[in-house]
Amino acid sequence: MRPMTSPPLLSPSSSSSRLLLLRLLLSRRRSPASRSPPPPLRRRLPLLAASMSSSSSTAATRNPGSVVADADGLARKVIADFDGTLTRYWYDGSRGQSSHGLLRQGNEEYDAKREELFEHYHPIEICPDIPLPEKAKLMEEWWEKTHALLIEGGLTYEAIRQSVADAKITFRDGVVKLFEFLEERDIPVLVFSAGLADIIEEVFRQKLHRSFKNIKVVSNRMVFNEEGRLVSFKGKTIHVLNKNEHALDMAAPVHDNLGDPNGYTDDYSLVKKRTNVLLLGDHIGDLGMSDGLNYENRIAVGFLNNNIEKSLKDYSEAFDIVYLNDAPMVGVVELVSELCP
């Protein structure tokens, strides 16, 4: 059952309060390499929670021991998860499909086998009581078994196209506006996903009907033979708990045309030099997407879509801002508008 929407936990604030929040975020989200030992003061900002129907609401309490930084240049790179972050968690009252879950191989036997894996491993993925190291091993096991079934079952790119056309998947409200805003300012967007890059790129083509020159996908990338049949995967397996910047060599831009189905690499020196980061994710493991990046400042925005009562405390401690109940992207649009006027 879809969770009921709830009013914001914090009332809307003025623009000046939002700017103060941004400066506080900057002063507290320095990279680990450049951060001085924290003062013995409360390190977390008040939780920002937004319902599906609400706009962004913020509030902040200034830490007298913090150094106020300039917010103007923060969002020089955006790192975003795909499933449940850029896409909606719910679809017409039921759980929407992920980029892995929407896939139909055209082989009922192998579709059923992958569904059995989902039923076994997904409860492990969302359980907050399993230690992360143990969970990471199980996630890698799940992904590798699934990828093996896709190859063994003879997946074709045509099956991917048809699967996306039939899929119950949609982008979160406000995503296009966010992408347009960032593209106008030449701000790179790295879409990190534990799903399948080829499917994600097809979702962009079919559901948005346009491309964005600043968006690149970092995900599990397939290798197809001349007949369009899957034969292998490139590089290390990316699952929900190991997404990070080390996987940049697997990234490729999102284009209108299919082009090379095996993707390609590009020069990311300019991307890597952009050391101010806005991170968007729906899983605490998504915070690792900025690992390996020598960032100066990072603001982490979390989307908590399910299992809210058990997970809210952990999310509020891990992320700087948290949105609840499949909230629209409007709050993030307002945030980047403040960061990059």
Positions marked catalytic? 81, 83
Question: Which helix (H) or strand (E) element contains residue 324?
Answer: strand 321-324
- Assign residue 267 a region (left: φ > 0; alpha: ψ between -120 and 50; beta: otherwise): beta
- Are residues 60 and 335 in contact, defined by beta-carbon separation less than 8 angstroms? no
Partners of 229 in the beta sheet? 156
Instruction: Please tell me the distance from the alpha carbon of residue 178 to that of residue 134, in angstroms, as a whole number.
Output: 36
The 3 state secondary structure assigned to 93-117 is CEECCCCCCCCCCCCHHHHHHHHHH
Instruction: Please tell me the distance from the alpha carbon of residue 254 to that of residue 264, in angstroms, as a whole number.
Output: 11
- Are residues 299 and 29 in contact, defined by beta-carbon separation less than 8 angstroms? yes
Partners of 304 in the beta sheet? 324
Scan for tokens 């030099």, then name that residue.
273
- Are residues 301 and 335 in contact, defined by beta-carbon separation less than 8 angstroms? yes
- The single-letter code of the amino acid at 202 is E
Q: Quote the distance between the C-alpha of residue 124 and its chain's center.
A: 19
Q: List, in sequence order, the alpha helices (H) in 153-274.
A: 157-165, 175-184, 197-203, 269-273
- Are residues 322 and 9 in contact, defined by beta-carbon separation less than 8 angstroms? no
Scan for tokens 């899929």, then name that residue.
167
Question: Which helix (H) or strand (E) element contains residue 318?
Answer: helix 308-318
